[in-house]
Amino acid sequence: MAELLLLSMFIFLIIGLATGHPLGFVLGGVAVWVGYIGWGFSAFNILVNQVYGVMNNYMLVAIPMFVLMANFLMHSGVADGLFESVRLILGTVKGGLAVAVIAVSTVFAATTGVVGASVLTMGLLAIPVLSKYKYDRGLIAGVVCAGGSLGILIPPSIMLVTMATLASVSVGKLFLAAMVPGILLSLVYVVYVLVTCYLHPEKGPAMTKEELAQYSLKTRLLGCLINLVPPIILIIGVLGTIFTGIATPTEASAAGAFIALVMTFFYKKFSFEMLKSSLVDTVRTSAMCFMIMFAANGFTAIFLGLNGAQVVAEFVTTVGLGKYTVFAFMLTIVFVLGMFIDWIGIVAIVMPIFLPILDNFGFNRLYVCAVTAVVMQTCFMTPPFGYALFYIKGIMPKDWSMKDIYRGVVPFIAAVVIVTAIVIIFPEIVMTLPNMSDF
């Protein structure tokens, strides 16, 4: 009976998602229905306790604060001047403008943990400029999607906060664990762009000498340094206070939101309409996150209550899978789910099921979370439901097609797979910084 209920949970989940229903309602509905069949009305006590557990988690306060920070940054225009300055520095190189997109996206990722803000901001800035210089459409879409998606890997990140909470590990240590893989992935993106544009110069031509002649080297370098100051202040204000132990991630997220608000004054972008829009967007995004977390926690609780973890563990034991085979199996599930649902659902479903199993194989939870976070990059870029793809679709020129976007993101998805393999082969890439920290 229990095995049939477990199987039915995933069948109903697939049917619900395939018919276009929101993830939160599908997860919650399946949890309520299967729980009622399995335990009757007592199942509702389990589900209510899960909701209360999420609401009672102090660390999750960081999510709306980081979202608010991202909204303020998007409206402040801090990325505008930075992109323009980096564009003038790297424009002489073939593919230099695409590299500038990745470079600015990396800095922007270290100031905001929300992908939507990063992709939309970089898309609005970069697409007109790169199109002007006849860059390949696929390359433009790829660098904007890939660069913008770095926001959930490079700390601060609301996904890392959520993963740390579910895995019962230190948020600060997970931030440190994800930092080097995030920078490594950014560098691999840069290498791909430079090699591609070297072999196919027509895909990423350099800026004209006439335009560059309008700006002296001193002016370009000085502009880049000046425009780097505000993001560096924010990075120090958030990550610096966390890593030095001055503030908890929750406190640092509030400080970051305040600094981002001050930046809107500094860049003369503050208005009460902007403030209202940022607050409304924050409430909407946070409500979506927590709704999915409530439902996913309930789904997982019912799954575990039906001994689902034991069933999976027995399957692994019976088949005789090795530790890295099990880990690869989990990462494959994460990759496949990323084609259909967003990161919140994936994290809330997969982590509670597989972490106890990987514990038995001796895996460090911090390491598992960091490697999984790398793979999660793909959930924003894999068709058919990658969120970054739809963000780009909403702002791209009318003569572009989804085929251009799909073609552009494939090499960057391959880059994520390569970096995942590297951090699995060389775990010290992930663990060195956390092992050196005191928190």
Task: In whole angstroms, give the CA distance from residue 382 to residue 119.
Answer: 15
Backbone angles phi, psi at 29, to 5 degrees: -65, -45
What pLDDT sits at residue 317?
Answer: 67
Q: How confident is the model at residue 439 (pLDDT cuts 50, 70, 90)?
A: low
- CB of 116 within 8 A of CB of 391? yes
Residues whose CB is less than 8 angstroms from the CB of residue 100 and which lie 6 or more positions away in sequence, other chains included:
83, 86, 87, 89, 90, 91, 126
Does residue 59 register a pLDDT over 80?
no
Q: How confident is the model at residue 87 (pLDDT cuts 50, 70, 90)?
A: confident
Task: In whole angstroms, give the CA distance from residue 98 to residue 194.
Answer: 9
- CB of 423 within 8 A of CB of 167? no
What pLDDT sits at residue 237?
Answer: 84
What pLDDT sits at residue 113?
Answer: 66
Q: How confident is the model at residue 341 (pLDDT cuts 50, 70, 90)?
A: confident
- CB of 330 within 8 A of CB of 367? no
What pLDDT digit, counting tens, does each position of 199-211 carry?
999 998 887 777 7
Rounded mean pLDDT, 156-184: 91
What pLDDT sits at residue 175?
Answer: 92
What pLDDT sits at residue 316?
Answer: 66
Output 170-174 pairs: Cβ under 8 A, ≥24 positions apart.
Answer: 170/366, 170/439, 171/59, 171/62, 171/242, 171/248, 171/249, 172/242, 172/243, 172/249, 172/437, 172/439, 173/366, 173/434, 173/437, 173/439, 174/366, 174/369, 174/370, 174/434
What pLDDT sits at residue 102?
Answer: 93
Please report, for residues 140, 185, 415, 424, the alpha-carbon distance to residue 419 in angstroms, rounded to integers and kept in the order given. 21, 6, 6, 9
Residues whose CB is less than 8 angstroms from the CB of residue 379 and which lie 6 or more positions away in sequence, other chains included:
334, 335, 337, 338, 339, 341, 342, 343, 346, 386, 387
Rounded mean pLDDT, 137-166: 89
What pLDDT sits at residue 179?
Answer: 93
Task: In whole angstroms, give the CA distance from residue 92 to residue 370.
Answer: 36
Q: How confident is the model at residue 267 (pLDDT cuts 50, 70, 90)?
A: confident
Q: How far apart are the first and last CA of the chain?
A: 45
What pLDDT digit, counting tens, does each position of 388-423 carry?
887 787 777 877 888 888 889 999 999 999 999 999
Q: What is the DSSP string of 183-228?
A: HHHHHHHHHHHHHHHHH-GGGSPPPPHHHHTTS-HHHHHHHHHHHH
Give 31's Cβ-side CA count (13 Å radius). Answer: 29
Residues whose CB is less than 8 angstroms from the CB of residue 301 and which lie 6 or more positions away in sequence, other chains included:
31, 46, 47, 49, 50
Taken in order 25, 27, 33, 39, is the CA torsion positive or negative?
Answer: negative
What pLDDT sits at residue 298?
Answer: 84
Task: In whole angstroms, give the CA distance from residue 370 to residue 179.
Answer: 9
> Cα–chain-centroid distance for residue 332?
17
Q: How confident is the model at residue 438 (pLDDT cuts 50, 70, 90)?
A: low
Rounded mean pLDDT, 284-311: 80
Burial of 400 (0-12, 13-18, 19+ CB in 10 A): middle
Residues whose CB is less than 8 angstroms from the CB of residue 178 and which lie 6 or more positions away in sequence, other chains included:
153, 154, 155, 157, 160, 370, 373, 374, 430
CB atoms inside a 10 Å sphere around CB 254: 20
- CB of 388 within 8 A of CB of 412? no
Query: Can you tell me which residue has the tokens 């009976």?
Result: 1
**Who wins on pLDDT, 304 or 261?**
261
Question: Cis link prior to 156 (omega < 30° from 0)?
Answer: yes
Q: Output the six-digit token pair for 165.
A: 């909470």
Q: What is the DSSP string of 132-164?
A: HTT--HHHHHHHHHHHHHGGGTSSS-HHHHHHH
Please report, for residues 59, 193, 226, 369, 418, the alpha-carbon distance to residue 168 in angstroms, rounded to integers and kept in the order given. 11, 38, 40, 11, 28
Query: pTM for the full model?
Result: 0.83
Does residue 374 register a pLDDT over 70?
yes
**Who wins on pLDDT, 427 or 114?**
427
